[in-house]
Amino acid sequence: MRFEAITIKDIATALGLSTSTVSRALRDSHEISVETKNLVRAYAEEHNYRPNPIALSLKEKRSRSIGVVVCEIANSFFSQIINGIESIAYDRGYNVIISQSHESYKREVIDLNYLASRSIDGLLISVSMETTNFDHLKSLHDKGLPIVFFDRVVDEIDTHKVIIDNSTGAYNATVHLIENGFKRIANINISEHSFIAQGRLSGYKKALQDHNVPIDEKLIRYCEHGGQDYAELEREMDALFAQKKKPDAVFAGSDTMTMGILRYLKSRKMKIPEEIALVGFSNSENADLLQPALTVIKQPAFEMGKKATELLLKVIEAKRPDNDFEKFVLPSELVVRESSEKK
Amino acid sequence: MRFEAITIKDIATALGLSTSTVSRALRDSHEISVETKNLVRAYAEEHNYRPNPIALSLKEKRSRSIGVVVCEIANSFFSQIINGIESIAYDRGYNVIISQSHESYKREVIDLNYLASRSIDGLLISVSMETTNFDHLKSLHDKGLPIVFFDRVVDEIDTHKVIIDNSTGAYNATVHLIENGFKRIANINISEHSFIAQGRLSGYKKALQDHNVPIDEKLIRYCEHGGQDYAELEREMDALFAQKKKPDAVFAGSDTMTMGILRYLKSRKMKIPEEIALVGFSNSENADLLQPALTVIKQPAFEMGKKATELLLKVIEAKRPDNDFEKFVLPSELVVRESSEKK
DNA sequence: TGTCCACCCGATAACGATTGCGTAAAAAAA
DNA sequence: TTTTTTTACGCAATCGTTATCGGGTGGACA
């Protein structure tokens, strides 16, 4: 069972012309007479002719498709980014091939091999939390594959990057907690190696210092799997509360972790924000409906996807290599709700 | 800037063989001697040769990619379905091209044209809420494009379909509300024309009849845009509560609507479930964290995606057309929580 | 010694589209 | 009228791969 479309050859045969003439007529070449052009166009229109993109790809050595690798599409932040990516890509006639790493390095390597073998023209990627070795990306980049990083970027590879101002986002959230009277603010972060965690940690620490709140390293914890693994999150939280001097607020470093921590606190019957306040990064549309309504740091995910795609297409469509790469930093927004109410 | 890969011709030149021999050696043809095969394989391995999928597509007249059309990927239900689709597709070497209709008929038509022009081998689609004319789908189907419908199916087109048992799901939810003492149960549903809404409505009505609760048509309302348009939802809810005999429970017909109704009730300071109970279809992972924790009808989204993909690949890879189409009905699960607690 | 048949391998065409080059006929210039 | 130019189109190569066909070499057998 196959789906057969009309080809340029069919038109040529039907009209008693050569394929070259038909091709040129459709591309409005000056070498073709007006009558022939009209004839061909009318026939093509009538039979709903569409050039075969695969044949074009083969000839032009470009597939007009871009690969996207994220950890999880069932995560508001990333699905909003993908919406941004698609909004640009479709307008520009590009195809988007999405794959998920599920935060696994192994899966990321497989995805990349797959995408490379599908001859994508460029790659948009937010690396998995497990990824500490970047050879798979370097090798593709060295071979000339245009890459743009977003959110979780790789500093060692020189290309465009689009990131959130993690440091300022974390700073604002922490300051907000301090100003609301919280003193022992824990920071549960994603994988320590990650670029993101480092930025968020620095903002957190700076906020404490600026407000003369002592930094307690025991209040800083990491989840290698970024909350995907609830058991891991539970272990870290247990450890946090096993200490003598317990935290009075938690600042969570990712969407999944924010929800996981909320689940943890509720399961332990802790009152939020009376016993413990909670602020976290989250792009959930429904943070206001939670119990309690959650104070979140919201990221401009859609814009991030748009910007990254624009940059990628610029590289793909550049005539000559341009090594003048940019790093775009987008601001985040603190949305204050019940979970961080004044003590 | 282009990304050049090694071809069979390169191998042939390097080894002093013809392209035919290299091709056959790599495909393990019996016509090639063991020594030559080893030679070719070693060279291919060393230089990381990957057959060019575009050239293969052109030759085989198949792109090994399938199109997926959903309304919104930022919806847990659909992103879980997509995970199911990908889990099968990747294993079988198929590429998944996702596009979103955003519940717009116009956008759906554009998406479909786009996908068809990208020469997909098959299509998985859950039609938009706005879609009442199916000519665009029929025409593709008539041309021989394999299609499998999931969730929101089109009865008039004869092909495989994978659906939820909407009727039983709605029945169970309604019975649950009745058994918990609720008598005036409103049903806010998605677009009236839709297959889904009809199934859910019938289950709702049957539950009422079976328990001798009178059916009040004034308690049944529809949102054409399925909750995507909050203002519309608000109008319907306002109308519902403007009646003399107000409802004491609401049964919501989709994920987005469930969240929208919760937002509406909370903004009107109505106490759930004391003043009004709420049960809705939802695949959100965080329904337990909401205020109140939500009783939901959860659908086996991942399995739905898997099943639909398996069926589609069966059609695509069939040697001869098989008109023996199946309609798979998957069960839903009622997860009882606070929002529907006994009166 | 001649015939036949495996065994291996190469040349070629095809998939659909574009494009450089060649060329017949018509038009313009001489 | 002859020469040159222009117009309008066809031929063939190309992209990477595979299938079809055809052919050369060597051994087995009569």
Per residue in A234-262, pLDDT tens? Answer: 999 999 999 988 999 999 999 999 999 99
Q: Are residues A93 and A153 in the same domain?
A: yes
* Average of per-residue pLDDT values in chain A: 93
Residue of B52, B82, B321 lying closest to A119 (CB–CB) = B52
Cis peptide before A247 (omega within 30 of 0): no
Per residue in A37-77, pLDDT tens? Answer: 999 999 999 998 999 989 999 999 888 899 999 998 888 99
B129, pLDDT greater than 70: yes
Query: What is the per-residue pLDDT for A3?
Result: 58
Nearest-neighbour CA in chain B from A339: distance (Å): 13
Per residue in B138-175, pLDDT tens? Answer: 999 988 899 999 999 999 999 999 999 999 999 999 99
Residue with structure tokens 């198929």?
A: B94
- Identify nearest nucleotide to residue A5 by CA to C1′ distance: C16
The tally of domains found in chain A comes to 3
Q: Are residues B238 and B159 in the same domain?
A: no
Q: Are residues A135 and A155 in the same domain?
A: yes
Q: Are residues A188 and A122 in the same domain?
A: no
Q: Are residues B214 and B279 in the same domain?
A: yes
Q: Are residues B293 and B173 in the same domain?
A: yes
Q: Which of residues 287-326 of B touch strand C (CB under 7 A)?
A: none
CA distances from A99 to A67, A120, B12, B249 (A): 8, 13, 34, 41
A1, pLDDT greater than 50: no
- Spanning CA of B120 to C1' of C18, the rounded length in angstroms is 23
Q: Are residues B305 and B158 in the same domain?
A: yes
User: For residue A2, is it within any domain?
Assistant: no
Q: Are residues B294 and B196 in the same domain?
A: yes
A155, pLDDT greater than 70: yes
User: For residue A57, is it within any domain?
Assistant: no
Q: How confident is the model at residue A115 (pLDDT cuts 50, 70, 90)?
A: confident
Q: Does the CB of A14 sit below 7 A from strand C?
A: no
| CATH number for B123 | 3.40.50.2300
Query: What is the per-residue pLDDT for A194?
Result: 87
Q: Does the CB of A160 sit below 7 A from strand C?
A: no
CA distances from A149 to A312, A317, B73 (A): 9, 17, 21
What is the pLDDT averaged over residues B208-224?
95
Higher pLDDT, A103 or A302: A302
User: For residue B58, is it within any domain?
Assistant: no
Residues of B in contact with A100 (CB under 8 A): 83, 86
Query: What is the per-residue pLDDT for B342?
Result: 84
A299, pLDDT greater than 90: yes
Contact B54 A58 (CB under 8 A): yes
Query: What is the per-residue pLDDT for A90?
Result: 85
Q: Of the given ranges (A109-118, A123-132, B12-21, B183-192), which has the lowest mean pLDDT?
A: A109-118
Q: How confident is the model at residue A14 (pLDDT cuts 50, 70, 90)?
A: very high
Q: What percent of chain A has pLDDT over 90?
A: 78
* Average of per-residue pLDDT values in chain B: 92
User: For residue A118, is it within any domain?
Assistant: yes
Q: Are residues B12 and B87 in the same domain?
A: no
Q: Are residues A173 and A290 in the same domain?
A: yes
Q: How confident is the model at residue B90 (pLDDT cuts 50, 70, 90)?
A: confident
User: For residue A238, is it within any domain?
Assistant: yes
Q: Of the given ranges (A29-33, A234-238, B318-322), which has the lowest mean pLDDT?
A: B318-322
Say which residues have a Cβ less than 8 Å from residue B70's Cβ, sequence separation at least 6.
Answer: B78, B81, B82, B98, B100, B101, B125, B126
Query: What is the per-residue pLDDT for B228?
Result: 84
What is the pLDDT averaged over residues A316-335?
90
User: For residue A224, is it within any domain?
Assistant: yes
Q: Are residues A98 and A150 in the same domain?
A: yes
User: For residue B94, is it within any domain?
Assistant: yes
Q: Does the CB of B28 sit below 7 A from strand C?
A: no
A204, pLDDT greater than 90: yes
Any B CB within 8 A of A240 CB: no
Q: Are residues A218 and A291 in the same domain?
A: yes
B245, pLDDT greater than 70: yes
- Spanning CA of A33 to C1' of D1, the rounded length in angstroms is 29
User: For residue B1, is it within any domain?
Assistant: no
Per residue in B271-319, pLDDT tens? Answer: 999 999 999 999 999 999 999 999 999 999 999 999 999 999 999 988 7
Note down the domain range covering A133.
62-163+301-330
Q: How confident is the model at residue B3 (pLDDT cuts 50, 70, 90)?
A: low
Any B CB within 8 A of A100 CB: yes
Query: What is the per-residue pLDDT for B117?
Result: 75
Residue type, B248: D
